[in-house]
Structure 1
Amino acid sequence: MEKRFLTPVETVAAIVAGGKRVLTQSRGRTFVLSLLAGVYIAFGAQLSTVVTSDAANYAGLGISRFLGGSVFSLGLMLVVICGAELFTGNSLLANAALHGEISWLKLAENWTIVIVGNLLGSLFFAWLMFETRLWEGSPVAEHAIRIAAAKCRLPFMAALVRGILCNWLVCLAVMMATAAYDIPGKLMACYVPIMAFVTSGFEHSIANMYFIPAGLFLAGATGRVEAGLTWSGFFIDNLVPVTLGNILGGVIFVAFAYWFVHRRTVDEGNKSS
């Protein structure tokens, strides 16, 4: 019978093998791919903002969040199918470092380039969306400002834990997408965990690189003042704890956990190959 997907140990081995790209991929290529990933996640984030701007009025809050999570999954679908470097998904590269296939220094270099590229791509897309003026005369602007302000007002521990839970699901989505052989399988692998984390209200650092700047741009244009909604609130109050949480969620609960479970099998397979 033809195999339809990779087993968990085969998936870990594939992720470890893919992690070796950081040894050969140029910094320029990594940077461009990270710019694209920032834009792709922002596409999903802005679509989620539009869909949830008034959905709760007709379908209730739970359904509104479900719809928002469903369309937000577009972002990871674009990253996985089209190919891009996403900081949160790259937490799984820790698996290659744990297996000794790449150095922790090279991993840190990759993360640094990618998170900077993701930020610039997200900011660029937020500016583009602002310049479309699609928000004028619609409830989208007010909704976007509310989303951004709420994120900036999160207590440190709440933002940290929501970041952990978010990237636990994101990295599991990447694992499942790696295991899938065909595009429909990869799309479904992206959809379910991403829908789950957005609907649940968890925090994704790269998505917030769109959500909060978009709210800041719109607040400036409309003259609306929201407590905590500042650039320092974005970077210090939200991005720092959420990013730390994303790293912990991806590295400890996915990369480390599956390294520990499959380390002997994968290491033996690498030695024999």
Structure 2
Amino acid sequence: MAIVSPNQVVESMIQAGEGKAKLPIKDLLIRGALGGALLGFGTTLAFTAEVQTGLGIVGALLFPAAFVIIILLGLELVTGSFALIPVAVMAKKATAAQMMKNWFWVIIGHVLGAVMYAILYIIAVTQLGLVNDHAVATKILAVAEAKTLGYKSLGAEGFLVVFVKAMLCNWMVTLGAVMAMTTKSVIGKIAAMWLPILIFFAQGFEHAVVNMFVIPAGIILGADVTITDWWVWNQIPVLIGNLVSGVLFTGMALYYTHKKAESIIILELPQTKAAVPSTQR
């Protein structure tokens, strides 16, 4: 299981960010929708495990499976792109306009895919509304209210709390995307990605794309949450918090400590003198 050097990892981040920035809108929507739906699958898997065992850590151990599928299939996850595309912009391999286009259309795709999965999942577990006491459905409803009304009840402090939890979340999620680049073997990539995603999910931090599934699903199930509650008290501050930590703590931090350091080392290498032909000695 060969390990890729940090400098090479940063170069891979730049290349990945460049590729994402230049995708057409059609691909951003499709890959974003698949990414949103797959994180919905991962969330219901984690909730199912928690309900069955009574241990949240069991669900956290399983949730990264969805993230792994997204990365290995080259799908879009805006939270990972919050770190990857900015480094491509810093390296002048992509433009700010391309970056914003990616983020906008992938978010639209995420919402469509996550809500689609929410509808299909609720049809399955409630048998078209005939079952009202499904344990996972009850869990989703409670989580949706906690992620919105819970912060709303704190007032202005609620914005700070949800913002910080979003920052902590995406610090780990972006590291998950980057850790996939630290090795070339599939097993190595899976193991490397699993660790940071487990860390974020086990501690209940706020992930924008997971919430694009959980909160709409809770609303459909009857949670006392409005669309305004969803976006004002969770989705918008979580997206901003995810963005800030992705750019600062992963993208810029790794770029400036490895890519820039590499450039400085190259510039400081002593210039070797050209050999003088023997006839001129």
Q: TM-score range by the shorter chain?
A: 0.7 to 0.9
The 2-side partners of 1:87 and 1:119 are apart by 11
After superposition, the Cα gap between the structure-2 partners of 1:268 and 1:115, relative to the gap in structure 1 and judged at 3 Å, is farther
CA contact (8 A) 2:22 2:98 kept: no
CA contact (8 A) 2:118 2:217 kept: yes
The 1-side partners of 2:20 and 2:264 are apart by 22
Corresponding residue of 2:34: 36
Percentage of matched positions with identical amino acids: 27
Corresponding residue of 1:45: 43
Output one character per residue of 1:11-70: Cα deviation in whole Å (capped at 9) or x when no partner: 0001101222145422211221111111111110111122222532xxxxxxx2211211
The 1-side partners of 2:207 and 2:219 are apart by 18
The 1-side partners of 2:21 and 2:121 are apart by 36
Corresponding residue of 1:88: 79
Matches within 5 A, 1:157-236: 157-219=160-222, 226=224, 229-236=225-232
Secondary structure of the corresponding residue to residue 178 of structure 1: coil
Q: RMSD across aligned C-alpha pairs, in angstroms?
A: 2.1
The 2-side partners of 1:134 and 1:72 are apart by 22
The 2-side partners of 1:243 and 1:174 are apart by 17
What amino acid sits opposite 1:67 in the alignment?
V
The 1-side partners of 2:163 and 2:59 are apart by 22
Output one character per residue of 1:171-197: Cα deviation in whole Å (capped at 9) or x when no partner: 111111111211111111221111111
For structure 2, list consecutive stretches of 5 or more residues without a partner in the other structure: 152-157, 266-281
What amino acid sits opposite 2:172 in the alignment?
L
CA contact (8 A) 1:170 1:193 kept: yes
CA contact (8 A) 1:13 1:266 kept: no
Secondary structure of the corresponding residue to residue 88 of structure 1: helix
Out of 238, 247, 253, the residue aligned to residue 251 of structure 1 is: 247
Output one character per residue of 1:238-272: Cα deviation in whole Å (capped at 9) or x when no partner: 00111110001100111011111123356689xxx
Corresponding residue of 2:116: 124
The 2-side partners of 1:81 and 1:266 are apart by 28
Runs of 4+ in 1 over 4 A off after TM superposition: 265-269
2:125 is aligned with 1:133: yes
After superposition, the Cα gap between the structure-2 partners of 1:19 and 1:252, relative to the gap in structure 1 and judged at 3 Å, is same
Q: Count residues in correspondence.
A: 255
CA contact (8 A) 1:41 1:74 kept: no
1:87 is displaced (CA, Å) by: 0.5
Corresponding residue of 1:66: 57
Output one character per residue of 1:175-233: Cα deviation in whole Å (capped at 9) or x when no partner: 111112111111112211111111111100000011111111112xxxxx54xx22211
Q: Tell which structure's C-alpha radius of gyration is larger.
A: 2
TM-score by length of 1: 0.87
Out of 18, 27, 36, the residue aligned to residue 20 of structure 1 is: 18
